[in-house]
Structure 1
Amino acid sequence: MIPQYGKILYATDLSVNAAHAFRHAISLARHYGAKIHVLHVLPEVDSSVLNYISTVMGEERLVNLELAHKDEITDQIRMRLHQFAKDELADHPEDLEWIADIEVHHGSPVGQILEVADRLDVDLVVVGSHGKGKLKYAFLGSVAEKLLRKSYRPVMVVPLND
């Protein structure tokens, strides 16, 4: 059976070259009439850094600060992603209809991408990959590489030029 893509998860790190992978997701959405679910994951702050800040600020104050700003940051990133899509599709604003939703999560990028892919029951995950140093042609970015190993869904990895 030939695969049909009805739901695509486009996971982005909002890097400068992330638009390249987004264009691939839009092209597939056009071709298949698919909906794109945009996802950005804010990685958790390293526990050693949190421990240090907690020691300096006090644990209760740190928790209150995190709670007060988590929603604000999430909303700002969601608005940034919406603007990113509008800017990228300025020549073809009708393509905005392919975007079903924009989600921002906190946690492990790979874990969150896999969890959202399962929850939405997507047919394809599209991510960009950054080359790393001299071995950039030998190794994918760590998130893309882990997704390829852990996902049972198809994953399209788009090389991003740094």
Structure 2
Amino acid sequence: MLPKILKILYPTAMGAGAPHVFRYALSLAREYGGELHVVHACEPLSPFGQSLVELHLSHEDAEKMHAEAREKVRAQLERQLRDLVEAEIGRAGGDRNLVASLRVLEGQPADIILQQAEAVEADLIVMGKHRHTALGEALIGHTASRVSHRSSIP
């Protein structure tokens, strides 16, 4: 029996290839009568970065500043993600109802992708997988490699 592909997770770093990959995810959702869940992961400030800030501010002030900055960045990234999705749906003549959720979450990208795949009960993960080196060679990206090795979802 062929698998049903009803829930598709589209994780994106919102790079130059994001529109191209999104169109594939949208096409699959339309073709299979499924829904698309879009997620972007923001890496948290490293402990080293936090310690640098705390050299100049009290711990409480640093925490407050981090919380405010995280919320501003999250809101801005969410707007950019929504704009990307809206623009590509418009270009493709797609149905906005195919996009069931759109999230910007803080954490390590591969971990966030795997958590979201489980949370939405994804049948398929559609993500860009290549990056190019200075020599022009195509390599599988670090996040895509980690997700493909750790996920049971194709």
- Report the TM-score, using the length of structure 1 for normalisation: 0.87
Aligned residue number for residue 57 of structure 2: 57
Q: Which sections of structure 2, spanning at least 5 residues, go unmatched? A: none
User: What CA distance in whole angstroms lies between the structure 2 residues aligned with 1:83 and 1:131?
Assistant: 23
**SS class of match (2:48):** helix
Kept in 2, the 8 Å contact 1:5–1:32? The answer is: yes
Kept in 1, the 8 Å contact 2:26–2:94? The answer is: no
User: What CA distance in whole angstroms lies between the structure 1 residues aligned with 2:9 and 2:41?
Assistant: 13
Shift of 1:136: 3.2
Aligned residue number for residue 10 of structure 1: 10
- Report the TM-score, using the length of structure 2 for normalisation: 0.91
Letter of the aligned partner of 1:15 in structure 2? Answer: G
Letter of the aligned partner of 2:29 in structure 1? Answer: A
Letter of the aligned partner of 1:89 in structure 2? Answer: I
Kept in 2, the 8 Å contact 1:86–1:93? The answer is: no
Aligned residue number for residue 150 of structure 1: 150
Shift of 1:69: 2.8
Letter of the aligned partner of 1:24 in structure 2? Answer: Y
Aligned residue number for residue 76 of structure 1: 76
Aligned residue number for residue 123 of structure 2: 123
User: What CA distance in whole angstroms lies between the structure 1 residues aligned with 2:87 and 2:115?
Assistant: 28
Instruction: Out of 38-47 and 73-82, give the one that drifted further.
Output: 73-82
Instruction: Out of 68-77 and 116-125, give the one that drifted further.
Output: 68-77
**SS class of match (1:127):** coil
